[in-house]
Amino acid sequence: MTALSNYFQIIEGTKKAGFLLCKDLKEKAESAREILKSCHLCERRCHVNRLEGKQGFCGVLEARVASEFVHVGEEPELVPSYTIFFSGCTFHCVYCQNWDISQYPFRGEYIKPEILAGMISNIRAKNVNWVGGEPTPNLPYVLDVLTHLKTNIPQIWNSNMYLTEESMDLLNGVIDVYLTDFKYGNDKCARNLSDAKNYWEITTRNHLIAREQAEMIIRHLVLPNHLECCTKPILEWISENLENVKVNLMDQYRPEWRAMDFREISRKLTHTEFQEALRFADELGIDLIER
């Protein structure tokens, strides 16, 4: 079966959350809530009690939905996609293009899980796309919503993949497609630009776990001056470690938020840089998404 027909199967048929017994989903939601008492949903492992109002690095307490709408600009395999944007993020990327929600965890509104489940049931879309900011701090909430869901619709986890293994385990059997944002090819760039430690080990581990669990599309935003240190190592790792995944190489970088303070990313990507990224991916036989 080709990768593309796999994606059709996801969209039309395989809907994992719907196959889980409600009891199993409730147990997962309960386990996720327990993690909030000493939060280690992501590898920041802040160990704050979020149920008592203590904030960790992401600042998220209750789930805040910044916006939700049927997105038609995602990968062609996925649209129309009911996209739910949470406020707050486990990363502080200095060039974040969604900084107005990712860095402000209290923006947006709390929607009761049963209400959001009803909204999902009434929407005409191929899937539900959990994103942000970052969905990870809101994993217990997402599982709560799914326990109320009456419709069997594929679930997409659109994430920086900085989750703990405990969180990855909770997503097992729930998520149909991991839509990952693979940013850096080494720890130094992750530390400098996203304030994230041990990035490479954590995110490569999670990509391998995710591919065992579900289908996967990998996004990589090509950054100016980061071809050799980030884009090429990422593409090489994908070609050596993951089969049947599609990769979306993205060229739309523009300096946002604090990017002008970092000289190497204070400009747009050049045509030459992006062509080199495409050439390198082609040389490795990467299955690129055509847009």
**Shortest reach from residue 136's CB to ligand SF4, in Å:** 6
**Shortest reach from residue 42's CB to ligand SF4, in Å:** 3
Other CB atoms within 10 Å distance of the CB of residue 73: 9
State the alpha helices, DSSP H only, in the chain: 3-12, 16-19, 22-35, 99-102, 113-121, 139-148, 165-171, 187-194, 199-213, 232-241, 271-284
**By C-beta, is 44 or 126 nearer to ligand SF4?**
44
Token representation of residue 257: 């938020």
**By C-beta, is 92 or 258 nearer to ligand SF4?**
92
Token representation of residue 176: 């149909």
Side chain identity, residue 284? L
Query: In whole angstroms, what is the distance from residue 34 CA to residue 192 CA?
Result: 32
**Shortest reach from residue 172's CB to ligand SF4, in Å:** 18
**By C-beta, is 210 or 247 nearer to ligand SF4?**
210
Other CB atoms within 10 Å distance of the CB of residue 215: 24
**Shortest reach from residue 49's CB to ligand SF4, in Å:** 10
Tell me the residue number closest to ligand SF4, measured at CB: 56
Nearest to 44 by CA among 155, 202, 180: 202
Instruction: At 248, give phi and psi (nearest 5°).
Output: -110, 100
**By C-beta, is 104 or 280 nearer to ligand SF4?**
104
**By C-beta, is 127 or 158 nearer to ligand SF4?**
158
User: Where on the chain is the footprint of ligand SF4 (CB under 6 A)?
Assistant: 39-42, 44-46, 48, 56-58, 60, 90, 136-137
**Shortest reach from residue 88's CB to ligand SF4, in Å:** 8
